[in-house]
Each structure stands twice: as C-alpha cells, then as structure tokens.
Amino acid sequence: MTIPVSLIDESTASGARRTFTLDFLDERVTVRELLRRRVYEEVTEYNAREPEVFHGLVQPTDAERTLNGSRLRTRRKLDWEAQYTLALDAFARLGFVILVDDRQVDDLDEVVHLRLDRPTEVTFLKLVPLVGG
C-alpha cells in the first residue's frame, strides 16, 4: 500500500501555487526524507524531459530565475544530490519554510506521521526578502 502526500509550492512573492503528489511506503517519514524525495523526483523528471525551464524548489547553479522557474545557461542534466545540498542550505538560511498540514516544522529530523484517510499536505513556502528591509 502506498500513502499519497500532496506537495504544494507557494511563494510570498508571486502567490503562485503548484501542487503535485508523491507516494510513500511508510506512514512515518522524516522531514529530511520528504525533502530528499521531493528533490530527487523533480530532478529525475527534469532530466527525463529536459524542458527549457526547471520547475524546482531551488535554483540550480549557473541558472537564471524566470517567472515560472529557472533557465539553465547551458542545457544539461542536473545532479539530484547537488540540488538536494542546495535545498538543505536554503532551508538552513530560511529561503523556504516547510509546513506539514499548516504546522511549520523547523527540524529536518522530525518524524511526520502521514495520514491514511486523506493525503498529508506538505507546503514549501518560498520566502522572498523585503526590498530595503
């Protein structure tokens, strides 16, 4: 049996919202594993299709931000482990916060109990620094 988790990307800058689902085998998972799986899946999908724009949690090295994602200066396959390291750094710098069913989690090693009755919602809220503040 798989347990669906609804992942939601939101941004304080644009208010844009993107939703997708990942399936897990265990009803207990750490926040770190949620983040790792999310980055792995988005990089794997990008590498399989190689679209013009990467829609990921963090911007790859040597990429420019666009309205809807990141455009790599030179098209190439991405390394999911490098993207995961960037995501860990961004989380530590408060580049984004993670909400599990509307409750902010601060510790990547916190265990989340996934719901079986309906998908647990995990929101990745990208924070944008205030200009002049």
Residues facing 66 on adjacent strands: 69
CATH number of the domain within which 45 lies: 3.10.20
Looking at the 3D structure of the chain, how many domains does it have? 1
Residue 119 in domain: yes
Residue 81 in domain: yes
Residue 88 in domain: yes
**Which tokens sit at 32?**
């770190």
For the question of whether the overall pTM of this predicted structure is more than 0.75, the answer is yes
Residue 61 in domain: yes
Residue 131 in domain: no
What percent of the chain is modeled with pLDDT above 90?
A: 63
Residue 43 in domain: yes
The domain of 30 spans: 3-126
pLDDT digits (tens, 9 = 90+) for 96-126: 999 999 999 999 999 999 999 999 999 999 8
Residues facing 20 on adjacent strands: 7
Residue 133 in domain: no
